[in-house]
Every structure is written in structure tokens, then in C-alpha cells.
Amino acid sequence: DGGLAAASDWVVSPIHVGDGASIGAGAVIVAGITLGEYCMVGAGGVASRNVPPRALVVGSPAKRIGWVCDCGSRLPTEGATLSCGACARSYAFNAANGGLTRA
């Protein structure tokens, strides 16, 4: 209606940040969102949907552009199992959560 918001107009919703998740400078995380473990939200990104574990998301709205290792290195995008060139950890796609889990 264009009027000022009253205290009763607001709904408190938690934001869940998984272990090892990284949030870039100036990024916005919308209330009620879950950031999966070891995911990365790029600087200035706007996460308006849940971010899967180990996903690299950027932009407004944030979109997945790749995957990252627990060590922070970017993972290759091809193959059933993704291996980190920096630390040799391996990951497989997890259909249950839409992210990567250690293989």
C-alpha cells in the first residue's frame, strides 16, 4: 500500500552457513537461504536461492559457474569424479543435495 513498514510486517528467517563456506565482499544473502559447506559466493553476488555444497556462484541473482575444493581451488568441470589439482581431493556429484561430496 506504499505505507511505512511496521514491526509486524517483518518475518525473521535464519540464514544457514555451512562449514567452510566463503562469502565475498559486498555479497547479499537473502533471508532463509542455506549456503552449503565449502561453497563460495563471489564478491557482490546476491544469493536468493540455496547454494549447494562446494558450488561457486556469482552475479545477481547468483548463478553457479563452477565447483570449488575444500582447499579453495577451482575444480575441473568435466568427469564423473572431479579431482583437485592443488591437493588431490576427489569429489562426486550428490543428487540428494545438488552439490559435491568427497569421493
Q: Is the distance from CB of 41 to CB of 74 less than 8 angstroms? A: no
CATH class (in words) of the domain with range 14-102: mainly beta
Q: Among residues 95, 103, 100, 23, which one has the least CA distance to residue 68?
A: 100
Positions of the chain with pLDDT under 50: none
Q: What is the pTM of this model?
A: 0.89
Q: What percent of the chain has pLDDT over 90?
A: 84
Three-class secondary structure assignment of 55-95: EEEECCCCEEEEEECCCCCECCCCCCEEECCCCCCEEEEEC
Q: Where are the domains of the chain?
A: 14-102
Q: Which three cell numbers stand for residue 43?
A: 564478491
